[in-house]
Amino acid sequence: MKNYERQAVRRARQGGFTLIEMLLVVVIIGMLATIVTVSIPKHMRKARESKAAADIQSIGIAIQSYYMEEGKYPGSLDLLTSGDDPYLDKGIPKDPWGNAYTYSYPGAHKPFKFDLASMGEDGVPSDDDVANWKQDASKP
């Protein structure tokens, strides 16, 4: 066998990826990247809503603790962070969109209690709000 024939046989045995195989891998990676890119904003929105619901629940517990000790609901959320033994050690958090939580007593939705809400991403009262009266309605 001649030298160039041996090299051709050696190359044939080594194998490799064809252009079609490489293109197929690139297309599959592109499809996976598209699926991930499209689903991330939806999951981020759900995570922010969950964070706001957890904050509302913890602030609500602090408000109830204030009520148990003082016999009345606080006039504002600032009363939860003042004094020698504050009900919220780390202060009143901002909602996940960077806005302040809204508090009112007596509440418009819960007249004998309080309303506590995050105005959501748009910052105005709308359907995307996360609120204590909505959480109570969703409990079985």
> How open is the CA angle 38-34-40, to the nearest 5 degrees?
30
For residue 116, give every residue at least 6 positions away whose Cβ sits within 8 Å of its Cβ, in sequence order, or none: 56, 59, 60, 63, 101, 102, 103, 131, 132
Domain that holds residue 95: 19-138
Q: What is the pLDDT of residue 26?
A: 93
Stronger pLDDT, 84 or 47, i.e. the higher one:
47
CATH value at residue 133:
3.30.700.10
Q: What is the pLDDT of residue 25?
A: 93
Number of folded domains that form the chain: 1
Q: Is residue 7 part of a domain?
A: no
pLDDT in tens, 107-118: 777 777 888 888
